[in-house]
């Protein structure tokens, strides 16, 4: 095995507190003989100081340019900026939540021109459809979301003044969740744990059956027909959009017309905003300015929602990604793809070509350019 150089940049997007690997993950790489370069303060937002990385064998570098220049393998969390990609170089492997289908097309062009192998964590997918890395972040987000919804339903935040669990003589909040995947199911369980009334919608009957078993009668599962969707948004205190199609932009489920039927000062949370959003009225926000009002409905559309629990999210991400990172570092890319076919499915761009079927479908004729 030939040791390789692995770089962990500091995330540059606003209010991004996560880092690609916790010190425990870095230690596993250095013990395997690899060289790990961590940009100064990369882990500070998650509570991991530079000294913690030094103790496990990492070398701290002091510029964004240097950390990209050194790495044969670059590990990120949030979508790379154009400035990040312009620092990339030929034969470099980039891993992170890339969300290329919903991003700027010039990013794809840069990756193709520079010969970067871009592997998107959100498209690493097993044959049964399970998304092991995205699952980790969706679990964190689903368990976190009652904190966020509870806050923005408060009167002092402009909300309807409704408490999640209600109280004796007062009914609980009505929470509608679109999508019974990992996030939707975890969110439903978290909300019923707060005594809210939960309605979970999906087009996949098997997903609804799994969720129904877990909810054990504490929530309502519904087929996501247009009729049911229109009915549910009218009575909801909060609607959560959690739709995901790997490699594709998210389909729009909530039209502006439907948004107008929602209760005044109710809340809409677009969890799928990093893939383009599932409502006509959605646009990305930040943790510094997380909400806006459209059609008299409060919108929360923060792409990096789990960043506000940066330490928990980083540990979860490290546990989910480390086997893949070690496989690439120890075996090389092709053998790692052989060992983990789901990792091969996560490749979006390689050798200048768009290789993920979903991304190819989204780009259409642009792929040939």
In order of 33, 40, 74, 232, 242, the CA distances from 181 in angstroms are 38, 36, 29, 19, 8
Burial 91-106 (b: 16+ CB within 10 A, else e): ebbbbbbbbbbbbeee
Q: What is the DSSP letter of 263?
A: P
Identify the active-site residue in 34, 84, 99, 202: 99
64 catalytically annotated: no
CB-count exposure of residue 363 (10 Å: 0-12, 13-18, 19+)? middle
Terminal-to-terminal C-alpha distance of the chain: 38
Shortest CA distance to 301 belongs to which of 310, 292, 309?
Answer: 292
84 catalytically annotated: no
What pairs with residue 240 in β-bridges? 177, 269
Tokens of 156: 């002092």
Sign of CA dihedral 198, 178, 284, 83: positive
Identify the active-site residue in 274, 299, 315, 356: 274
Tokens of 291: 């909400």
What pairs with residue 268 in β-bridges? 239, 299
Neighbours of 161 (CB within 10 A): 12
Residues catalogued as catalytic: 99, 274
């Amino acid at each position: 095995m030939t040791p390789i150089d692995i770089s962990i940049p500091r995330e540059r997007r606003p209010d991004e507190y996560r880092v690609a690997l916790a010190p425990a993950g870095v230690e596993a790489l250095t013990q395997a003989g690899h060289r790990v370069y961590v940009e100064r303060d990369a882990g500070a937002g998650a509570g991991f100081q530079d000294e913690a990385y030094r103790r496990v064998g990492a070398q701290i570098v002091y510029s964004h340019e240097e950390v990209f220049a050194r790495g044969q393998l670059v590990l990120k969390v949030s979508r790379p900026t154009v400035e990040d990609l312009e620092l990339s170089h030929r034969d470099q492997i980039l891993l992170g939540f890339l969300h290329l289908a919903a991003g700027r097309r010039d990013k794809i062009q840069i990756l193709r021109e520079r010969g970067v192998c871009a592997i998107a964590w959100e498209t690493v997918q097993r044959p049964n459809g399970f998304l092991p890395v995205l699952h980790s972040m969706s679990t964190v987000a689903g368990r976190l979301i009652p904190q966020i919804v509870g806050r923005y339903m408060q009167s002092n935040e402009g909300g309807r003044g409704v408490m999640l669990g209600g109280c004796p003589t007062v009914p609980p909040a009505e929470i509608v969740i679109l999508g019974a995947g990992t996030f939707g199911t975890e969110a439903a369980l978290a909300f019923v744990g707060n005594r809210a009334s939960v309605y979970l919608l999906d087009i996949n009957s098997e997903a609804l059956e799994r969720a129904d078993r877990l909810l054990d009668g504490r929530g309502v599962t519904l087929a996501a027909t247009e009729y049911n969707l229109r009915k549910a948004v009218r009575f909801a205190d909060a609607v959560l959009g959690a739709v995901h199609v790997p490699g594709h932009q998210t389909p729009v489920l909530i039209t502006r017309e439907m948004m107008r039927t929602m209760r005044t000062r109710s809340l809409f949370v677009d969890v799928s905003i990093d893939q383009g959003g599932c409502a006509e009225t959605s646009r990305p926000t930040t943790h510094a300015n997380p909400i806006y009002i459209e059609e008299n409905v409060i919108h929360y559309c923060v792409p990096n929602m789990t960043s506000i629990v940066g330490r928990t999210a980083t540990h979860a991400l490290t546990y989910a990604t480390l086997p893949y990172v070690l496989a690439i570092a120890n075996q090389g890319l092709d053998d790692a793809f052989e060992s983990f076919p789901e990792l091969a499915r996560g490749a979006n761009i390689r050798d200048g070509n768009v290789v993920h079927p979903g991304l190819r479908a989204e780009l259409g004729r642009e792929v040939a350019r």
